[in-house]
Amino acid sequence: MERNLKELVSQMTLEEKAGMCSGLDFWHLKSVDRLGIPSVMVSDGPHGLRKQDDKADHLGINESIKAVCFPPAVLSACSFDRDLLRELGDTVGKEAQATDVSVVLGPAVNIKRSPLCGRNFEYYSEDPYLAGESAAAFIDGVQSHHVGTSIKHFAANNQELNRMSCSSEVDERTLREIYLPAFETAVKKSQPYTVMCSYNKINGTYASENPWLLTEVLRDEWGFEGYVMSDWGAVNERVPGLKAGLDLEMPASGGMTDREIVAAVQDGSLDESVLDQAVERILRITFTWLDNREKQNLTLEADHETARRIAEESMVLLKNENVLPLSSSENVVFIGGFAKKPRYQGGGSSHINSFRVDNALEAVKGIAEVSYAEGFSSSKDFYDEKLAAEAVEAAKNADKAVIFAGLPDSFESEGYDRSHMRLPECQDRLIREIAEVQPNTIVVLHNGSPVEMPWKDDVKGLLEAYLGGQAGGSAVVNILYGKVNPSGKLAETLSLKLSDNPSYLNFAEKEKVNYSEGVFVGYRYYDAKEMEVAFPFGHGLSYTTFKYSNLKLDRTEMTDQDTLTVSVDVTNTGDRAGKEVVQLYVSDLTGTVRRPVKELKGYEKVSLEPGETKTVTMTLDKRSFAWYNTDLHDWYASSGDYEILIGASSRDIRLKKIVHLVSTRLLPLHLTLNTPLGELIADDRTKEFGLFLKKKMDEFFSPVSSAVNLSDDESGEDPMGDAIVAATPVRNVVSFGLISKEDLVKKLKELSSK
The residues binding ligand BGC (CB under 6 A) are: 44-45, 58, 105, 152, 231-232, 349
Taking the complex as a whole, the smallest distance from the CB of residue 159 to ligand BGC amounts, in Å, to 13
Taking the complex as a whole, the smallest distance from the CB of residue 333 to ligand BGC amounts, in Å, to 40
Would you say 203 and 175 are in contact if contact means Cβ atoms under 8 Å apart? no
Taking the complex as a whole, the smallest distance from the CB of residue 504 to ligand BGC amounts, in Å, to 25
Helix (H) or strand (E) holding 620: strand 613-620
Query: 157-183 burial string, b = 16+ CB within 10 Å, else e?
Result: bbbbbbbeebbbbbbeebbbbbbbbbb
| Residue closer to ligand BGC, measured from CB, 44 or 374 | 44
Q: 10 by DSSP, 3-state: which?
A: helix
Taking the complex as a whole, the smallest distance from the CB of residue 238 to ligand BGC amounts, in Å, to 18
| Residue closer to ligand BGC, measured from CB, 44 or 140 | 44
Is the Cα dihedral 237, 242, 246, 249 positive or negative?
positive
Q: 148 by DSSP, 3-state: which?
A: strand
CB atoms within 10 A of CB 294: 12
| Residue closer to ligand BGC, measured from CB, 104 or 317 | 104
Active-site annotation holder among 231, 303, 527, 560? 231
Cβ-based neighbours of 444, under 8 Å, separated by 6 or more:
338, 360, 402, 403, 404, 405, 463, 465, 476, 480
Taking the complex as a whole, the smallest distance from the CB of residue 232 to ligand BGC amounts, in Å, to 4
Q: 169 by DSSP, 3-state: which?
A: strand
Closest CA to 195 of 172, 222, 214: 214
| Residue closer to ligand BGC, measured from CB, 95 or 464 | 95
| Residue closer to ligand BGC, measured from CB, 222 or 232 | 232
Would you say 71 and 10 are in contact if contact means Cβ atoms under 8 Å apart? no
Q: Before 325, cis peptide (omega within 30)? A: yes
Got the DSSP string for 654-698?
EEEEEEEEE-SSPPPP---TTSBHHHHHHSTTTHHHHHHHHHHHH
Question: Which pairs from 631-634 meet CB under 8 Å and 24+ separation?
Answer: 631/667, 631/668, 631/670, 632/665, 632/667, 632/668, 633/172
Taking the complex as a whole, the smallest distance from the CB of residue 90 to ligand BGC amounts, in Å, to 21
Q: Which amino acid is at 409?
A: D
Taking the complex as a whole, the smallest distance from the CB of residue 346 to ligand BGC amounts, in Å, to 11
| Residue closer to ligand BGC, measured from CB, 126 or 231 | 231
Taking the complex as a whole, the smallest distance from the CB of residue 233 to ligand BGC amounts, in Å, to 7
Taking the complex as a whole, the smallest distance from the CB of residue 45 to ligand BGC amounts, in Å, to 6
Distance, in Å, from the CA atom of 78 to the CA atom of 485, rounded to the nearest integer, reads: 14
| Residue closer to ligand BGC, measured from CB, 164 or 528 | 164
CA 259: distance to chain centroid?
38
Would you say 50 and 62 are in contact if contact means Cβ atoms under 8 Å apart? no
Would you say 559 and 664 are in contact if contact means Cβ atoms under 8 Å apart? yes
Taking the complex as a whole, the smallest distance from the CB of residue 52 to ligand BGC amounts, in Å, to 9
| Distance between first and last Cα of the chain | 54
Q: Any idea what DSSP says for residue 194?
A: E
Distance, in Å, from the CA atom of 476 to the CA atom of 483, rounded to the nearest integer, reads: 10
450 phi/psi in degrees, rounded to 5: -55, 150
Distance, in Å, from the CA atom of 622 to the CA atom of 608, rounded to the nearest integer, reads: 31
Q: 84 by DSSP, 3-state: which?
A: helix
Taking the complex as a whole, the smallest distance from the CB of residue 49 to ligand BGC amounts, in Å, to 12
| Residues in a beta bridge with 25 | none
Q: Which amino acid is at 228?
A: V
Got the DSSP string for 491-531?
SS-B-SSGGGSTTGGGSS-SSEEE-TTTT--THHHHHHTT-
User: What is the chain's Cα-based Rg?
Assistant: 29
| Residue closer to ligand BGC, measured from CB, 157 or 314 | 157
| Residue closer to ligand BGC, measured from CB, 58 or 243 | 58
Distance, in Å, from the CA atom of 475 to the CA atom of 463, rounded to the nearest integer, reads: 11
Give the strand pairing for 370-373 and 332-335: parallel
The reply to whether 231 belongs to the active site is yes
| Residue closer to ligand BGC, measured from CB, 44 or 312 | 44
| Residue closer to ligand BGC, measured from CB, 58 or 654 | 58
Distance, in Å, from the CA atom of 423 to the CA atom of 268, rounded to the nearest integer, reads: 58
Taking the complex as a whole, the smallest distance from the CB of residue 126 to ligand BGC amounts, in Å, to 20
Got the DSSP string for 721-741?
HHHHHHTSBTHHHHHTTSS-H
Q: Which amino acid is at 633?
A: H
| Residues in a beta bridge with 446 | 406
Taking the complex as a whole, the smallest distance from the CB of residue 252 to ligand BGC amounts, in Å, to 13
Would you say 204 and 167 are in contact if contact means Cβ atoms under 8 Å apart? yes
| Residue closer to ligand BGC, measured from CB, 29 or 324 | 29
Length of the chain: 754
| Residue closer to ligand BGC, measured from CB, 199 or 455 | 199
Got the DSSP string for 56-123?
--SSS-S---EE--PPPHHHHGGG--HHHHHHHHHHHHHHHHHTT-SEE---B------TT-TTGGGS
Residues involved in catalysis? 231
